[in-house]
Amino acid sequence: MATERLLINNEIRARELRVIGAQGENLGVISLDGALDAAKTAGMDLIEISPSATPPVAKIMDYGKFEYERSKKEKVAKAKVKISETKEVQIKVGTGENDMMLKAKKAADWLAEGHRVRAELFLKGRYKGMDEKFLKERLEKFLVRIPYAYKVAEPIAKSPKGFAGVIERDLVAQQKREKETAAKPTT
């Protein structure tokens, strides 16, 4: 793990320390020698847990147990971090309505998972010479079909393969949309 190493026992350089005992009791501000004696009496280590405080805070505890608990906390924190990817949906000028709906549904699933979605209108051959306004509208029509609230991260622009735009989820708008659908009476 990438955490800094804490000073223990004779590595501590501060003259006075605020010491916390083995059971969590506050022993007050005492000299380094007194704190080391207290740690030795308890059969544990003196660990400087907050070196930037005035005076520095040290705790009497087993160093091996302390490192083990700290590494466990870091693993839990690392597991909670969700990595977001940019997924890609590619449509063509001649893509049918049903295929567009399927791709829009897949894009909505990715947005719900927290990923960004890059929607690309792929152009080849004679399609590259078509009117840019028409091509942008075609991609916008696809984006409108996505049944999940999103915001535009990168507007539609020319790309090497055609036109592309990037969208990401908008949680506030999605929650508002879900409340509205829950409030509607079913007939």
Write down the H helix ranges in the chain. 32-42, 63-80, 97-113, 132-144, 171-183
How many residues comprise the chain? 187
pLDDT band, very low/low/confident/very high, at 186 (cuts 50, 70, 90)? low
Q: Which residue has the higher pLDDT, 116 or 176?
A: 116
Q: Please answer whether residues 114 and 82 qualify as being in contact, where contact means their C-beta atoms are separated by less than 8 angstroms.
A: yes
Which token pair is 9?
A: 């026992």
Sheet containing 45-50: order of strands = 26-31, 16-20, 57-61, 45-50
What DSSP designation does 160 have? T
Q: Which residue has the higher pLDDT, 120 or 80?
A: 120
Strand partners, 55: none
pLDDT band, very low/low/confident/very high, at 102 (cuts 50, 70, 90)? very high
The structural domains of the chain, with segments of one domain joined by +, span 9-77, 86-183
Q: Which residue has the higher pLDDT, 102 or 42?
A: 102
- The reported pLDDT for the residue numbered 105 is 92
Evaluate whether the domain defined by 9-77 bears CATH number 3.10.20.80.
Answer: yes
* Alpha-carbon gap, residue 140 to 181, rounded angstroms: 24
pLDDT tens for 156-181 read 888 888 888 888 887 777 777 777 77
Evaluate whether the domain defined by 86-183 bears CATH number 3.100.10.10.
Answer: no
pLDDT tens for 45-90 read 888 888 888 888 888 888 888 888 888 988 888 877 777 788 899 9
* Alpha-carbon gap, residue 59 to 48, rounded angstroms: 6
